[in-house]
Structure 1
Amino acid sequence: MNPMRTYLLILFTFSTVGLSLNSESISETNQKAIDAFYQKNWSQAETWFKESLKKNPNDPYANYNLACVYTILLSQCEELAEEQDIFRLLKKAVTYKKTYKGLMLKDKDLSLLRNTFRFNEIAGLSPKELFTNIFWYGPSPGAYGPISEIKFNVNGTFELSLVEFRESDGALEKPKYKGNYVWVSEKVIQLEFQKLPPAFPNQTKKRQARWKEDTLEIDGFDYHFVDSPDRCSA
């Protein structure tokens, strides 16, 4: 056989194999749903994905992408579904298609929920990986959002941000306070602040924190932290 023809045959064979491995056949209703999705016609996309799930409730493609639709709408404060509904869809999706676990961690359509406990649990992260993926928020009593936010990093550091109003002119400020932490047990963390807010009555820099799923309690704070802010209250 001509060497050039042999090369082309091998190239064609590998190209065909690659195409079949990377392609994902989807149903007609899923195709209609995804067409509507790309046109940002969310209501139509929802209708078609739900139609797919009527035929096959375990369809991972429809479950996953309907979760994306609802997350996008939730980010716009259009609450057609609650977070728990979205998590149920994602859980079913990854149950029947394991590769969605990795996809959901980088999918921009799901970014609103990426730093919550349940989201990272469904993605299969270990407890310590999960903990450092969460953003923890204090209460949101008004239009300025959470009064505090704390993030723990994998390198053993953390940063607390507070919402404060300057006494001189009432301007909004968001000072940051850093520190280090170590694990005492799987659910207990020892924190040490470099510096504490002057207004804190107790200036003890070393404090224990306890977490259980989507709730975090830190000694010296008269409220607990949760993994999701009250986004649409204002």
Structure 2
Amino acid sequence: MSFRLFIIYFFCMIGIFSQTTENWNKKGINALSQKDFLTAVDSFKKTLKDKPNDAFANYNLACTYSLLLAQCEDIESEVHIYHLIQEAIKSKPSYQKKLHTDSDFFILRGKYHFQKLSGKSKREILTSITWFGPSPGAYGPMDQFQFKEDGSFIYHKLDMTESNPIGKLEFTGRYKWINDSKLEIQFYDPSPMKEGGKNKNLRVNYSDGKLEIQGFDHSFTDDNDRCSA
């Protein structure tokens, strides 16, 4: 084969490859719009098999998995969704801003790692999500914290002493931000915990996606155990 024919063949193959990628992406987005999630997954995966860095396919496969997750369908793990989003942003940074408003990700909006991928700081994430305790039974998380931007917080705790329906106790307080890994909280009266009859400042260790609060025998995360409740 002459050099000239090789060049023609080379560019023809590029054209065919690009067209195939475009066709799979188009098929995937059409399936996604029709809520045919399995076809959408298959189509975007075929694009990524030949073009792993394709921003469009990475982003929309993440969207598809998020919608399946909202239905409690089995998917390749939540971590895999974050990996797809990260790859999409790496190839096309404008996707990071889109995360703030894209309704396909509504089920992940209350997740620490999703908020982090959207560009928020740890301090911003603290007040953007609800922090849940463990779910030992059928009633969901036994307690939870919600931190507000004005420095206050609300703590809810299941009242297991009541019968049908289970009651919920509410306590309020304030918190003090120290740094990206530490803060302090103090409950107002009445308080769920006192030492020597007085409320005290409680130390909080804030690691990636987890709060460990002095006086509590469990940690708090973004997981509300929704699908198993």
| TM-score in terms of structure 1 length | 0.82
Deviates more, 1:211-220 or 1:151-160: 151-160
How far apart, CA to CA, are the structure 2 residues paired with 1:100 and 1:155?
Answer: 30
How far apart, CA to CA, are the structure 1 residues paired with 2:175 and 2:155?
Answer: 12
Long gaps (5+) in structure 1: 1-25
Instruction: Describe the SS at the equivalent of 1:89.
Output: helix
Residue identity over aligned pairs, in percent, reads: 37
How far apart, CA to CA, are the structure 2 residues paired with 1:108 and 1:141?
Answer: 31
How far apart, CA to CA, are the structure 2 residues paired with 1:106 and 1:153?
Answer: 21
Match of 2:75 among 72, 77, 80: 80
Report the equivalent of 2:170: 176
Question: For residues 72-100 of structure 1, what are the alpha-carbon distances to aligned partners after superposition, in whole Å with 9 as ceiling and x for unaligned?
Answer: 11111112221100000011011111111
Residue 196 of structure 1 contacts residue 205 of structure 1 at CA under 8 Å; is this kept in 2?
no
Residue 188 of structure 2 contacts residue 199 of structure 2 at CA under 8 Å; is this kept in 1?
no
Q: Are 2:114 and 1:119 equivalent residues in the alignment? A: yes
Give the aligned CA root-mean-square deviation in angstroms: 1.8
Report the equivalent of 1:134: 129
Report the equivalent of 1:107: 102
Instruction: Describe the SS at the equivalent of 1:160.
Output: strand
| TM-score in terms of structure 2 length | 0.84
Match of 2:183 among 178, 189, 203: 189
Match of 1:229 among 212, 224, 227: 224
Query: Judging changes above 3 Å, is the alpha-carbon distance between structure 1 residues 205 and 108 closer, same or farther for their aligned structure 2 residues?
Result: farther
How far apart, CA to CA, are the structure 1 residues paired with 2:154 and 2:200?
Answer: 13
Instruction: Describe the SS at the equivalent of 2:149.
Output: coil
Instruction: Describe the SS at the equivalent of 1:27.
Output: helix
Query: Judging changes above 3 Å, is the alpha-carbon distance between structure 1 residues 213 and 69 closer, same or farther for their aligned structure 2 residues?
Result: same
1:17-28 residue pairs with structure 2 within 5 A? 27-28=22-23
Question: For residues 6-28 of structure 1, what are the alpha-carbon distances to aligned partners after superposition, in whole Å with 9 as ceiling and x for unaligned?
Answer: xxxxxxxxxxxxxxxxxxxx821
1:5-20 residue pairs with structure 2 within 5 A? none
Instruction: Describe the SS at the equivalent of 1:50.
Output: helix
Aligned length: 207
Residue 120 of structure 1 contacts residue 130 of structure 1 at CA under 8 Å; is this kept in 2?
yes
Residue 157 of structure 1 contacts residue 178 of structure 1 at CA under 8 Å; is this kept in 2?
yes
Question: For residues 119-151 of structure 1, what are the alpha-carbon distances to aligned partners after superposition, in whole Å with 9 as ceiling and x for unaligned?
Answer: 122112122112222321100111111111111
Q: Counterpart of 2:171 in structure 1: which amino acid?
A: Y
Quote how far apart the aligned CAs of 1:176 are: 1.9
Match of 1:206 among 197, 201, 205: 201
How far apart, CA to CA, are the structure 1 residues paired with 2:200 and 2:131?
Answer: 19
Residue 74 of structure 1 contacts residue 81 of structure 1 at CA under 8 Å; is this kept in 2?
no
Report the equivalent of 1:155: 150
Q: Counterpart of 1:61 in structure 2: which amino acid?
A: F
Long gaps (5+) in structure 2: 1-20
How far apart, CA to CA, are the structure 2 residues paired with 1:232 and 1:141?
Answer: 14
